[in-house]
Chain A
Amino acid sequence: MKVLVAVKQVASLDEDFEIRADGKDVEADFLLRDLNEWDDYSLEEAVKIREAATTPVEVVAVCIGPDDADEALRKCLAKGADRAIRVWDDAMLGSDSIAIARVIAAVARREQPGLLFAGVQSADHAFASTGIAVAAFLDWPHAAVITQLAYTPGAAHAVVRRELEGGVLHEMRIDCPAVLTIQLGINTPRYASLRSIKQAAAKPIEVLAHADLGIADSEVGEGGSLSRVRRMYVPEKGRAQMIEGSIEEQAARLAQLIEERAGGAA
């Protein structure tokens, strides 16, 4: 039995960042990269299944991204993933979340996992669509925002619990194989010591190109995506202004402003 965990190397903004010259993203120098927080929880859930199992379970982490995403995969290996796969080639640049899901689905077809985990969303782009789209491509059942999971490796179904609005819990049984998107707080992710991350560097990461998975060029990259980034920008700040001067001056200025605004509305 195998659990496939889809993970992403997300970016967070450094202090005083700058937007890239083409206006479509933040300049890479100003990004701090790390494993997506939700994926930390889904990987932990997979490792917990393996640790509790009486039959062999393999945890495979898969990531779609360039070389520097190896860092996220190494963290997964350090935390207990048995294997790691990274899919990337230059043609995949510009893929939207659905195109990414298509690639993950292809990996799932090859790996044949009993369960496929993804985080509810990524901390940077927050589409919250990749996991669900993978289920659609595979035509597997899916459940989103899982806060508790009961599953015995090899079982025909899993029981999951989800939190709904108003504090209501939603418990459902889902046939396997299935795609589950995991919510924060489902467990306590373990600490990956720097030593274990270093030792994980010795474990190989399998690197594939989209063609290796039988995906056509037209199905990846901007060409294979139905959405595109137009621009990324920081909205102009609000136009609050301090009114200086003595109390009388401030009151007079304030009255004048109200007059202007009210007058304009009338």
Chain B
Amino acid sequence: MIRDPTAVTRVLFEDFAPAAIAAFYVVAFAAVTVFCFGVYVEVRKYRRGSAADVDGRLLARFQAMIGTVLSHRTVAHRDRAAGAAHRLIFYGFVLLFLGTATITLDYDLLGPLFGVHFWHGAFYLWFSLVLDVAGVLLTGGLLYMMYRRGWLKPPKLDYTRPDRQPGDPDYDRSGYRREDWAFLCTLLVIVATGYLLEAARLVWLEARPDVWAYRWWSPAGAALAEGLRAAGMSAAAGGALRTGLWWFHGLLALVFIALIPFTKVKHILTAAGSLLLRDPLAAQRLPRVPEQQQRAGAQYITDFSWKQLLSLDACTKCGRCHEVCPARAVGAPLSPRDVILSLREFANRTLESATLPEQAELDVHGKGPGQVAMETLWSCRTCMACVEVCPVAIEHVPVIVQMRRKLVEEGQMDPQLKRTLQTIHKTGNSFGESKRKRAAWTKALPFAVKDARQEPVDVLWFVGDYASFDPRNQKVTQGLAWLLREAGVDFGILYDGESNAGNDVRRVGEEGLYEVLATSNIESLSAASFKTIVTTDPHSYNTIRNEYPDFGGRYEIEHYTTLLLRLLQEGRLNIARQLGLRVTFHDPCHLGRFNKGYEAPREILRLLGCELIEMGRCRANSFCCGAGGGRIWMPDPVGADRPAHNRMREAAAISGLQVYVVSCPKDLTMFEDALKATGNEGRFVVRELIELVREALAHRQAQGAPGVAA
């Protein structure tokens, strides 16, 4: 038992001259002042951004953010080792911070103000133990991170930029690398000197039973002290070492605190802020352009919202977005990481000064340092892989699309894209076909498809451009019509009342045309009578589901995979034979990552008796076919690798693969091309899920259905 609990505590300023103590407080206050000034400068920087559309459910947001931070869910996402190491650093740092705050509370606040002291006795001993363990955790985490950077060297931590040439001033971002090491080393030195200081203090006070008898409550410090004593250190030497280390450790820690807002350490604040402001539909539902706004899109750094400016500062260069980006993977001049870092550097240069520079200097478009080139912006597939993987909720896609809007206003785009947009404006579809031909695919069917504008239907089928006009996809479209009829579904289409849904037009950045398309479709839909919408096209699915509500179009919509699954489960479609195929499934970005439709297609494949072998990159980590974000309307560079080819090679590595299954019309087009281009024709085939379902039902369609080419 402790004889006198108040005596069991830690000496703080013992043996210090009053002037030394005063000097310490001056330095401490100076450090806090510098910290506060830094925070002020950063907040002023964010406030120079435009208004942000953040809903006010602050409590729910706060709870979610705390949950994410404490669990480290997003940091451990697809990188468990880094997640574990960061967890050690985080909890170590938080405990040590709380420990220091406890001392301040006892010594500087409650003590002097109210004469209350609690930092002693059993509480103190447990405090010592916890903080000693925290130091070990922190050290472990830091050492692993050093090992990772210094020896493992994962490619995602290579800061070399795909959007710059060797020799450009910011080509390899070596400044960041130095900062990373300075950060790790500084923290490690602070912890190490903390332990050494503790050990020196124990040696110095070895004669005091209130200290020495309880030394093992600080196990690491005590072990070190035993070591020092064994090496022959005297109490006096311990005292001298303690004084020196006390100042070194204290000043270094204070400098660290002062520098938080000026270095990457600020992510402890900005990452939390970014997570707090997260928009769960950031890529799925792009921001509208206010009616009164003169300019569309982001041209100046101040056109980004304060929330976006804050999230730029949250980036820790973990490189996960860089790693998953399909454009980067095929050598395009885009890395989501570098877009974010460029804009951050630009914002720091222009918005941290006391007064704003003139507007011309705020233009973020171009090839200068911190600017983003149009080639970079046009390389994006808006596949959302970067947004999904980002541990600190940075929303790259809206940033890129907002910058594209400005390029579209100026006509700075690929000529083929320009023509396609004009075609869509003129004819309502990207194929330049007459509106009247939209339902031409129905002519090959031996039954009439209802016109939902003329008679009420249960299910309105929004067909989409590719499924309507592309000859290969028309066969699939006819196949689904067969299945729906077979299952007795009362369905209809909009005929020439349907226009391109606009999902990709919006992601290109042609917001005006998107508004025209969305409004026109909503008009057609309101003139029709139906209960739910089904679509074969994940792109249409996304925009109708997530974006049409902003334009007054609220519908219940599903992708055909969930409808077919239900029809199969309810026995309205009966499988005649198990296919017994060895297949893999490609999650379309807009169905999977965007709208979490992972299960239905897999469940259908199971019911069909297929053996599903997953590719390494599946579900939320699915790899874009390269067609998204309007890229399907832009030529890929001749000779360069393409995302679809990259994906085909991944699939081809599955031994004995028979069918590469897709559930998106654009995927069918992209991957059938890629199959030939990668020389895999004849080894396996690309099939729409609809085609496999028809094959499994084949016997029932002997009554006149055209066979599925397999």
Contact = CB atoms under 8 A, between A and B. Distances in A.
A15 B431 CA distance: 13
Interface string B61-100: 0000000000000000000000000000000000000000
Contact of B408 (A14, A191, A197): A191
Nearest to A32: B426
B434 A191 contact: no
B64 to A, nearest CB: 35
Contacts of A194: 425, 510-513, 515-516
Interface string B145-163: 0000000000000000000
B512 A15 contact: no
Contact of A195 (B296, B411, B415, B427): B296
Interface in B424-441: 425-427, 433-437
A16 B433 CA distance: 12
B409 to A, nearest CB: 5
Nearest to B515: A194
A177 to B, nearest CB: 30
B289 interface: yes
Interface string B429-466: 00001111100000000000000000000000000000
A111 B408 CA distance: 33
Contacts of A198: 512
A191 B512 CA distance: 13
A32 B423 CA distance: 11
B80 to A, nearest CB: 46
A34 B436 CA distance: 18
B404 to A, nearest CB: 11
B408 A193 contact: yes
Interface in A188-206: 188, 190-198
A15 B418 contact: no
Contacts of B433: 15
Contacts of B511: 194-195
B145 to A, nearest CB: 47
B436 A193 contact: no
A193 B296 contact: yes
B411 A191 contact: yes
A188 B408 CA distance: 15
Contact of A193 (B409, B426, B427): B409
Residue among A15, A16, A188, A193 having the largest count of chain B Cβ atoms under 10 Å: A193
B362 interface: no
Given A32-B426, A34-B426, A190-B411, A195 B289 contact: yes
B83 to A, nearest CB: 44
Contact of B434 (A15, A34, A188, A196): A15
A14 B432 CA distance: 10
B436 A196 contact: no
Given A193-B510, A193-B512, A194-B512, A16 B436 contact: yes
Contacts of A16: 434, 436
B657 interface: no
Report which residue of B437, B512, B515 has the largest number of chain A beta carbons within 10 angstroms of its beta carbon.
B512
B661 interface: no
A62 B513 CA distance: 26
Nearest to A194: B512
Contacts of B422: 191
A2 to B, nearest CB: 25
Contacts of B426: 32, 34
B377 interface: no
Contacts of B392: none
A197 B409 CA distance: 11
Nearest to A190: B411
A27 to B, nearest CB: 13
A137 B513 CA distance: 41
A197 B413 CA distance: 18
Nearest to A12: B426
A196 to B, nearest CB: 7
B427 A32 contact: yes
Interface string B406-418: 0011110101001
B151 to A, nearest CB: 51
B193 to A, nearest CB: 60
Contacts of B410: 190-191
A198 B294 CA distance: 12
Contact of A196 (B289, B409, B425, B435): B409
Contacts of A197: 512
Contact of B437 (A15, A32, A191): A15
Contacts of A34: 426
Contacts of B324: none
Contacts of B437: 15
Contact of A191 (B289, B413, B515, B516): B413
A15 B436 contact: yes
A130 B437 CA distance: 35
A196 B410 CA distance: 10
A196 B405 CA distance: 12
Contacts of B434: 14-16
B421 A195 contact: no
Interface string B484-526: 0000000000000000000000000011110110000000000
A194 B408 CA distance: 10
A34 B422 CA distance: 10
A208 B632 CA distance: 45
Contacts of B289: 195
B297 to A, nearest CB: 9
A192 B418 CA distance: 10
Contacts of A190: 410-411
Given A32-B426, A32-B427, A195 B512 contact: yes
Interface string B614-644: 0000000000000000000000000000000
A20 to B, nearest CB: 18
A207 B413 CA distance: 35
Interface string B270-301: 00000000000000000001000000100000
Interface in A159-212: 188, 190-198
Contacts of A192: 411
A194 B415 CA distance: 17
A34 B423 CA distance: 11
A14 B436 contact: yes
Contacts of A188: 415
A192 B516 CA distance: 14
B634 to A, nearest CB: 14
A188 B415 CA distance: 10
Contacts of B515: 194
Contact of B421 (A15, A191, A196): A191
A188 B412 CA distance: 11
Interface string A209-234: 00000000000000000000000000
B98 to A, nearest CB: 52
Interface in B512-549: 512-513, 515-516
Given A15-B436, A195-B409, A195-B512, 8 more contacts: A15-B433, A15-B437, A32-B426, A190-B410, A191-B411, A192-B411, A193-B296, A193-B512
8 smallest beta-carbon distances between A and B, as pairs: A194-B512, A191-B411, A195-B512, A15-B434, A194-B513, A190-B411, A14-B434, A191-B418
Interface of B: 289, 296, 408-411, 413, 415, 418, 421-422, 425-427, 433-437, 510-513, 515-516
Interface of A: 14-16, 32, 34, 188, 190-198
13 contacts: A14-B436, A32-B427, A34-B426, A190-B410, A191-B411, A193-B296, A193-B408, A193-B409, A193-B510, A194-B510, A195-B296, A195-B511, A195-B512
